[in-house]
Chains A and B, each alone.
Chain A
Amino acid sequence: MEYLKKYPKLFQWLFLLVVFFALCFAIDVPETYKFIRGQAEFVKDPNQSVYFFLGKEVRYYAFDVFWRLPPLLGWLPIWINDSLFFLMNEWMPMEFWNEDTQEFKTRPILLQISRNLTAFMTFLIELIREILLGGLETIVAFTSWDFIDAYPWLELPGLPWTIVAAGAAILSYKLSGKGLALFAGLTMIYISIFGQWKPSMQTLSFILVAAPLSFIFGLGLGIAAYKSKRVEKALYPILLVMQTMPQYAVLVPALVLFGVGDHAAVIITMVVAVPPMILLTILGLRAIPSEVIEAGRMSGCTNWQLMLKVLIPTARRDILIGVNQVIMVCFSMAVISAFIGAKGLGFNLLLALNQLNIGLALEAGLCISLIAILLDKMSLAWANKQTDYFGNLTFFQRNKNVIFFAASFVIGIILAYVGTFIFKGSFNYLFEIPHNKGISTADFWNKGVDWIFDTFFVYIKAFNTWLIQDVLQPMRALYLRMPAVATLVLAVGAGYLIGGIRSALVVAALTLFIALSPWWDRALVTLYMATFGVVISCLIGFTVGTLCFQNKKSAAFMLGVCDIFQTFPSFVYLIPVMMLFGITDTSVLIAVIVYATIPATRYTIEGLRSVPVGLHEAATMSGVNKLQRLTKIEFPLAFPHMMLGINQTIVFALFMVIIGAFIGTEDLGQYILKALSDKNGAGIGLTLGICVAFIGLIFDNLIRTWVEKRKKHLGIA
Chain B
Amino acid sequence: MSETVIKCESVYKIFGENAKKMLEESNGNVDAKTFQEKGCIVGVNNASFEVAKGEMLVVMGLSGSGKSTLLRCISRLTDATGGKIFIEGQDLLELNNKELIELRRSKMGMVFQSFALLPHKTVVENIAFPLQIKGTKTEDSINRAMEMVKLVGLDGRENYFPRELSGGQQQRVGIARSLAVEPDIWFLDEPFSALDPLIRKEMQDEFLRLQEKLQKTIMFITHDFDEALKLADRIAIMKDGIIEQLDTPANIVLNPATEYVRKFTEEVPREKVLVIEDVMDTTSNDNLGDLKVLKDEIIENVAEKILTQEKIVAVVDSENNIVGSIKPSKIIDTVFGGRKNGS
Residue pairs across A and B with CB atoms within 8 Å: the count is 69
CB-contact partner of B110 in A295, A302, A388, under 8 A: A295
- Tell me whether B109 is interfacial, beta carbon within 8 Å: yes
Is B315 an interface residue, CB under 8 A from the partner? no
Instruction: Report whether A298 and B118 are in contact in the complex, using a CB–CB cutoff of 8 Å.
Output: no
A291 within 8 A of B: yes
User: Are A298 and B134 interface neighbours, CB within 8 A?
Assistant: no
Q: For residues 284 through 317 of chain A, which have their beta carbon under 8 Å from a beta carbon of chain B?
A: 289, 291-292, 294-295, 297-302, 305, 309-310, 313-314, 316
Q: Which B83-120 residues have C-beta < 8 A from chain A?
A: 97, 101-102, 104-105, 108-110, 112-120
CB distance from B202 to the nearest CB of A (A): 23
B104-162: which residues lie under 8 A (CB-CB) from chain A?
104-105, 108-110, 112-122, 124, 129-130, 133-134, 138, 142, 159
B120 touches A298 (CB 8 A): no
Q: What is the size, in residues, of chain B's interface with A at 8 Å between Cβ atoms?
A: 35
Chain B nearest Cβ from A311, distance in angstroms: 10
Given known pairs A298-B110, A309-B133, the reply for A386 and B104 (CB within 8 Å) is no
Asked whether any CB of chain A lies closer than 8 Å to the CB of B45, the reply is: no
Is the CB–CB distance between B133 and A299 below 8 Å? yes
Q: Given the complex, which residues of A lie within 8 Å of B116, measured CB to CB?
A: 289, 291-292, 294-295
Select which of A294, A301, A314, A390 is within 8 A of B112 by beta carbon. A294
CB atoms of A298 and B113 under 8 A apart = no
Chain A contacts for B112, CB-based, 8 A: 291, 294-295
Query: Is B172 among interface residues, defined by CB-CB distance under 8 A?
Result: no
Contact between B138 and A389, CB atoms less than 8 A apart: yes
**Binary interface profile of A, 565-608, with partner B (CB < 8 Å = 1, else 0)?**
00000000000000000000000000000000000000000000
B181: chain A residues at CB < 8 Å are 300
**Pairwise interchain contact A300-B72, C-beta atoms closer than 8 A:** no
Q: Provide the residues of chain B in CB contact with A289, threshold 8 Å.
A: 114, 116
Which residue of chain B is the closest to A300 with respect to CB atoms? B105
Q: With A294-B110, A389-B142 known to touch, is A314 a contact of B118 (CB < 8 Å)? A: yes
8 A Cβ contacts from B170-226 to A: 174, 177-178, 181, 187
Instruction: Give the Cβ gap from A398 to chain B, nearest Cβ, in Å.
Output: 14
Query: Which partner residue on chain A sits nearest B119 by CB separation?
Result: A314
Contact (Cβ within 8 A) B122 A386: yes
Among B77, B122, B138, the most chain A Cβ lie within 10 Å of the Cβ of: B77
Q: Given A300-B105, A305-B133, verify A294-B77 contact (CB < 8 Å).
A: yes
Q: Are B114 and A299 in contact (CB under 8 A)?
A: no
Checking B101, B121, B138, B142 against A300 with a beta-carbon cut-off of 8 angstroms, the contacting residue is: B101
Which B residues touch A299, using CB under 8 A? Answer: 104-105, 129-130, 133, 177
Q: Is the CB of B118 within 8 A of A313?
A: yes
Are B114 and A298 in touch, CB under 8 angstroms? no
Identify the closest chain A residue to B180 (Cβ). Answer: A299
Bound together, the chains give a CA A437 to CA B313 distance in angstroms of: 108
Residues of chain B with a CB closer than 8 A to A298's CB: 75, 77, 104, 108-110, 178, 187
- Assembly CA distance A386 to B75 (angstroms): 32
A291 in contact with B114 (CB, 8 Å):
yes
Within 8 A of B (CB), among A538-564: none
A14–chain B nearest beta-carbon distance, Å: 44
For residue B115, which residues in chain A have a CB less than 8 angstroms away from its CB? Answer: 291
Q: CA A543 – CA B90 in complex, angstroms? A: 67
Q: Given contacts A301-B133, A313-B120, are A291 and B108 in contact (CB under 8 A)?
A: no
Return A247 CB to nearest CB of chain B, in Å: 33
**Min C-beta distance of A179 to chain B, whole Å:** 22
A-B pairs with lowest CB-CB distance, top 4? A300-B105, A299-B130, A295-B116, A291-B116
> Which residues of B pack against A, CB within 8 Å?
72, 75, 77, 97, 101-102, 104-105, 108-110, 112-122, 124, 129-130, 133-134, 138, 142, 159, 174, 177-178, 181, 187
Chain A residues at the B interface, C-beta cutoff of 8 Å: 289, 291-292, 294-295, 297-302, 305, 309-310, 313-314, 316, 386, 388-390
Task: Give me 8 other A-B pairs in contact (C-beta within 8 A), A295-B112, A300-B134, A305-B133 excluded.
Answer: A291-B113, A295-B174, A297-B104, A299-B129, A299-B133, A300-B104, A313-B120, A389-B124
List 12 interface pairs A-B (beta carbons < 8 Å), by A numbering: A292-B116, A294-B72, A295-B118, A297-B77, A298-B108, A300-B101, A300-B104, A300-B130, A309-B129, A309-B133, A314-B120, A316-B119
